[in-house]
């Protein structure tokens, strides 16, 4: 057991109660977090990133219609039995690995009141420690896991860190956008952050991407945060409040990000990940080359 005042980060919160409206009708009765990217659901990529970053506890904020997520990370008695009987040991090992990766716990968010509210729901489990937040529809392909990169910045500055990347100006209204000064290569101190501003009002084109390292004092601010953009309690607004008390940093992570919660972003991620897949990549490349696209 680690001490409470040991400030290393070992818990990752996964908000997963959202309605997935950008991916309807696929997400009408199935969680968007369970959409398969090649052969694994989106949320598994996030959980693997958390584990590779050194986390030992994953806290998933779920809602109605999301039970498939819990089943995915649980043991699957019948399946494991069948695989054993049929001597499919490689598959068995893969299936067993999923439930053994890390300790999972679940909290129900009764109403989809926004990302800030989802994070607030994790307060009892976070229990006064600094923690990471991972949005599983942002898939980040990186040599050093993106969450680990943020943790490294946190360990140096001891204050909250958000992941950022540059986005085209015309898309800023889909993101939290920051105004910031660079304090070292790829690390910024945030001056202001605005949730989904119009292109005219955006202070920059540096967008927040779904990775955060937060400190437990965010909860007091989230409790005071009134509904903002879209009538939702926004994490961006909570962080803007926290910034009056302590600095907040941004890390321009090294890696490629896919917005897999969006149909086009999901297709791009699927093609790229399929091409890189050891057993499928070669055939798939040949297939694409044979399409003779104009
Ligand atoms: C959320 C955040 C936003 C951030 C984005 C990254 O928005 O509210 O600040 O830029 O994730 O993916 P959402 O995409 O859930 O609307």
CATH of the domain at 108: 3.90.550.10
Q: Is 176 in the pocket of ligand 1 (CB under 6 A)?
A: yes
Q: Give 183 Cα–ligand 1 centroid separation in angstroms.
A: 24
Q: Give 103 Cα–ligand 1 centroid separation in angstroms.
A: 26
d(CA 179, CA 166): 12
Tens digit of pLDDT for each residue in 273-282?
999 999 999 9
- Asked if the structure places residue 166 within a domain, the reply is yes
> Which domain covers residue 30, as residue numbers?
11-281
Who's near 45: CB < 8 A, 6+ residues apart?
37, 136, 139
Long-range pairs for 235-241 at CB < 8 Å and ≥24 separation? Answer: 235/114, 235/115, 235/116, 235/119, 235/133, 235/176, 236/116, 236/176, 236/193, 236/194, 236/195, 236/208, 237/116, 237/195, 238/116, 238/119, 239/160, 239/162, 239/190, 239/193, 240/192, 240/193, 240/194
Unique residue bearing structure tokens 């360990």: 155
- Asked if the structure places residue 1 within a domain, the reply is no
- Asked if the structure places residue 2 within a domain, the reply is no
pLDDT of residue 6: 54
pLDDT of residue 3: 43
Q: Are 129 and 216 in contact (CB under 8 A)?
A: yes
pLDDT of residue 262: 93
pLDDT of residue 234: 98
- Asked if the structure places residue 291 within a domain, the reply is no
Tally Cβ neighbours within 10 Å of residue 86: 10
- Asked if the structure places residue 286 within a domain, the reply is no
pLDDT of residue 205: 97
Structure tokens at 244: 């009056």
- Asked if the structure places residue 289 within a domain, the reply is no
Which residues of the chain fall short of a pLDDT of 70? 1-7
d(CA 77, CA 89): 15
- Asked if the structure places residue 4 within a domain, the reply is no
- Asked if the structure places residue 292 within a domain, the reply is no
Q: Give 5 Cα–ligand 1 centroid separation in angstroms.
A: 30
pLDDT of residue 158: 96
pLDDT of residue 88: 94
pLDDT of residue 294: 72
Q: Is 208 in the pocket of ligand 1 (CB under 6 A)?
A: yes
- Domain count of the chain? 1
pTM of the model: 0.95
């Amino acid at each position: 057991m680690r001490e409470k005042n040991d400030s290393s980060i070992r818990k990752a919160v996964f908000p997963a109660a959202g309605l997935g409206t950008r991916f309807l009708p696929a997400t009408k009765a199935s969680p968007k977090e369970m959409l398969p990217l090649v052969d694994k659901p989106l949320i598994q990529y996030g959980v693997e990133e958390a584990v590779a970053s050194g986390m030992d506890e994953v806290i998933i904020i779920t809602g109605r219609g999301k039970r498939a997520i819990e089943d995915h990370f649980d043991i699957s008695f019948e399946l494991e039995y069948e695989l054993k009987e049929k001597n499919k040991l490689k598959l068995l090992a893969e299936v067993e690995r999923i439930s053994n990766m890390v300790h999972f716990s679940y909290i129900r968010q009764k109403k989809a009141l926004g990302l800030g509210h989802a994070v607030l729901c994790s307060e009892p489990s976070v229990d006064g420690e600094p923690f990471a937040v991972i949005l599983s529809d942002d898939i980040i392909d990186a040599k050093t896991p993106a969450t680990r990169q943020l943790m490294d910045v946190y360990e140096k500055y001891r204050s909250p860190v958000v992941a950022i990347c540059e986005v085209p100006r015309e898309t800023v209204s889909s993101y939290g956008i920051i105004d910031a000064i660079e304090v070292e290569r790829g690390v910024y101190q945030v001056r202001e952050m605005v949730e989904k501003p119009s292109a005219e009002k955006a202070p920059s084109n540096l967008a927040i991407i779904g990775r955060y390292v937060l400190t437990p004092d965010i909860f007091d601010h989230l409790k005071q945060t009134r509904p903002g953009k879209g009538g939702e309690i926004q994490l961006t607004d909570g962080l803007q409040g926290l910034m009056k008390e302590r600095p907040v940093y941004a890390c321009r992570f090294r890696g490629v990000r896919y917005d897999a919660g969006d149909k086009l972003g999901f297709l791009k991620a699927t093609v790229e990940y399929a091409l890189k897949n050891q057993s499928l990549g070669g055939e798939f490349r040949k297939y694409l080359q044979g399409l003779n696209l104009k």
